Amino acid sequence: MQISFPALAALVLGSVFVLPTAPAQDKPATRPALPEKASETVMPPDSTTQGSVEVSGQRIDYTAVAGIITVGASDAEDAQLGPDGVPLPGTQLALAEPKNPAEAPPLAHMFYVAYFKTGANAEDRPVTFFYNGGPGSSTMWLHLGSLGPKYVETPGDTHLPGAPYKLVDNPYCLLDTSDEVFIDMPGTGFGRITGKDAGKAFWGLEQDAGAFARFISRFLTKYNRWNSPKFLFGESYGTTRSAVLADMLENQYNIDLNGVMLLGEIFNFTTFAGLDRPGVDLPYELALPTYAATAWYHKKLNPQPPQLDPFIKQVEAFSLGEYMHALALGNAITDAEKQSVAEKINQYTGLPVDYILKANLRVDAGEFRKEFADQKDLTTGRYDTRFLGPTLDPLSEGGEYDPQSAAISSAYVAMINSYLRNTLKYGATETYLPGALFNGARWDWAEGPRGRGIGGASGVNVSSDLADAMKTNPHLKVMVNDGYYDLATPFFAAQYEEEHLPIPADLTKNIEYNWYESGHMAYVRDECRQQLHDRVAAFINSTLATGR
């Protein structure tokens, strides 16, 4: 999940930089003196703590490290930084050191928390790098919601009561299978970006992936994990990042990955369900199965299918068959055919036939969310359509907020602040940023020399990046995970993207699909978090078994 991922046509991103100023200790420390040089930004030292968690009846002891890894804005600048993120003596960065911090070379001080199983052999022990999306989100969602040692309890599909919230041991922690590294993107969490034009240097499709690639390279050196099996796990825009990052690691850094795990996939933004683009009908066709799953969950179908999966398969066939044909006809469609298709959409979604006809058979995600539960003056969730919330404006045409985000965000923000400070002993006097403070700056969607993404978010398609990584490394395995009730990144769109990757037919066997009866954050439902753990563990183990 991410702090904000509104309709991409209106996506505006910006920034403000606030430097951490004191080391994390049990008691607030004396604030250190300002650095004499602009590059010597004072960052809190790493904090190392011990913990244990029980998974499948097995006690797992672990070491947790919370800290900062600093990376440069390019490979050339990064190579001039020492392990502490300060320019090495005699390098161009050191010789050109300005006294004004605003004129210093841009740096990203990236916050992370790593969990290492006690006593494990590093070369045999996989390491998985986790990150959320946005773009602009920290990784508190995956960190405290999915496969880490702790998780925030978020039972049911309604708004949680106010604090106190519960952070408990996670019986589905992935430490039984892999070490874990949760990385906050530049400018989020306790991390900050500094220097001249730092936003331009790190906030963009290509720039962001480059920062993560350099972070991973430095992490492997810092912890001597170069020969460990390596996996990526990205959620939402984090899957977009994963495609570009996998390509970079494989083809620029000579770092072969063992596997890439995707949750809430979005590669091709022309399939995005929240934009109205005349002549582009694929988003409607790929979102329809999610509309149908939502209607099934809320029991708005007559007759109500007894099982979800067979029903969804029927809707998928209609979406890419009769429905796709009808939309392809455009204005040439006959009234009789339009009526027939509208009636079938009504059978699958519960939306009124008149409404479907008025929408010209094209109901976008925002309109669906408003209309679906409008009879009760409720708005349907976007990240998870199981959630319903009071409509803010009864006269609005689309959903104005996300009931699921409203229901659980406060719990995550509260518990990440409490957990990092009280348990991991980091950031006692610092500000944790759940999302980047962009302040009017824009995310750079252009994808560098490769040219994809020119024209803003709606033109982005990074499918070729993952395809290039898979062709370069034919042993690379890909795991797709999506929730049936996710309208931010519909599951059928993810399947469509993967099935249209420009790869040889024999590489398609390297891709596996997993669907969950949950939403964008599949892990917020306990049953689905268990499924996610079991499937991810099996994916990692089978990948290692077939690769040896």
User: Which of 351, 376, 404 delimits the end of a domain?
Assistant: 404
Task: Report the C-alpha gap between 164 and 458 in whole angstroms.
Answer: 41
Task: Report the C-alpha gap between 540 and 257 in whole angstroms.
Answer: 12
185 and 89 share one domain: yes
Tokens of 406: 């409203």
Write a three-state SS string for 371-436.
Answer: HHCHHHCEEECCCCCCCEEECCCCCCCCCCCCHHHHHHHHHHHHHHHHHHHHHCCCCCCCCCECEC
Task: Report the C-alpha gap between 240 and 236 in whole angstroms.
Answer: 7
Q: Is residue 544 part of a domain?
A: no
171 and 26 share one domain: yes
Q: Is residue 398 part of a domain?
A: yes
Task: Report the C-alpha gap between 17 and 21 in whole angstroms.
Answer: 12
Task: Report the C-alpha gap between 441 and 451 in whole angstroms.
Answer: 21
121 and 241 share one domain: yes
Number of independent structural domains in the chain:
2
- The number of helix segments (H) and strand segments (E) in the chain equals 16, 14
Residues 216 and 249 sit within 8 Å (Cβ to Cβ): yes
Task: Report the C-alpha gap between 495 and 499 in whole angstroms.
Answer: 6
Q: What residue has token string 């992370």?
A: 112
Q: Is residue 497 part of a domain?
A: no
Amino acid at 285: E
Q: Are strands 107-117 and 192-194 parallel, antiparallel or unpaired?
A: antiparallel
For residue 443, give the DSSP letter. Answer: -
314 and 237 share one domain: no
Task: Report the C-alpha gap between 145 and 168 in whole angstroms.
Answer: 11
Nearest to 264 by CA among 4, 489, 479: 489
Is 417 exposed, middle or buried, given 0-12, 13-18 or 19+ CB atoms closer than 10 A? middle
CA distances from 477 to 176, 260, 474, 508, 543 (A): 20, 6, 8, 10, 7
| This model's pTM is above 0.85 | yes
Domain that holds residue 417: 8-270+408-483
Amino acid at 98: P
Tokens of 234: 């990205």
Backbone φ and ψ of 194, nearest 5° = -135, 165
Residues 473 and 465 sit within 8 Å (Cβ to Cβ): no
Residues 130 and 180 sit within 8 Å (Cβ to Cβ): yes
292 and 425 share one domain: no
134 and 250 share one domain: yes
Residues 520 and 494 sit within 8 Å (Cβ to Cβ): no
User: Which of 404, 430, 451 delimits the end of a domain?
Assistant: 404
229 and 139 share one domain: yes
Nearest to 407 by CA among 524, 298, 487: 524
Task: Report the C-alpha gap between 408 and 412 in whole angstroms.
Answer: 7
426 and 451 share one domain: yes
Q: Is residue 508 part of a domain?
A: no
452 and 342 share one domain: no
pLDDT of residue 277: 76
Per-residue pLDDT of the chain (548 residues; tens, 9 = 90+): 444 433 333 332 222 223 232 333 333 333 344 455 555 566 788 999 999 999 989 999 999 999 999 999 999 999 999 998 888 998 888 877 777 777 888 999 999 999 999 999 988 899 999 999 999 999 999 999 999 999 999 888 878 888 898 999 999 999 999 999 999 999 999 999 998 899 999 999 999 999 999 999 999 999 999 999 999 999 999 999 999 999 999 999 999 999 999 999 999 988 877 666 788 899 999 999 999 999 999 999 999 999 999 999 999 999 999 999 999 999 999 999 999 999 999 999 999 999 999 999 999 998 998 888 866 788 888 999 998 888 878 777 777 777 888 888 999 999 999 999 999 999 998 999 999 988 877 899 886 554 454 456 677 899 999 999 999 999 999 999 999 999 999 999 999 999 999 999 999 999 999 999 999 999 999 999 999 999 999 999 999 998 65
CATH number, position 476: 3.40.50
Side-chain half-sphere exposure of 369, counting CA atoms within 13 A:
33
Task: Report the C-alpha gap between 504 and 521 in whole angstroms.
Answer: 31
Nearest to 20 by CA among 10, 9, 8, 34: 34
pLDDT of residue 407: 82
56 and 149 share one domain: yes
Task: Report the C-alpha gap between 143 and 420 in whole angstroms.
Answer: 11
**CA 414, 412, 145 angle in degrees (round to 5)?**
145
Q: Is residue 107 part of a domain?
A: yes
**Which residues have a Cβ under 8 Å from the Cβ of 512 and sit 6 or more positions away?**
477, 478, 479, 480, 539
Within 270-330, where are the H helices?
A: 282-297, 308-318, 324-329
Q: Is residue 252 part of a domain?
A: yes
Tokens of 203: 């906030």
User: Which of 435, 459, 483 delimits the end of a domain?
Assistant: 483
Q: Is residue 192 part of a domain?
A: yes
Backbone φ and ψ of 53, nearest 5° = -150, 145
36 and 165 share one domain: yes
What is the signed CA dihedral for 437, 442, 446, 447, rounded to 10 degrees? -10
**Which residues have a Cβ under 8 Å from the Cβ of 404 and sit 6 or more positions away?**
381, 382, 383, 384, 386, 387, 519, 520, 521
What is the signed CA dihedral for 362, 367, 370, 374, rounded to 10 degrees? -40
312 and 438 share one domain: no
Task: Report the C-alpha gap between 532 and 422 in whole angstroms.
Answer: 28
Q: Is residue 539 part of a domain?
A: no
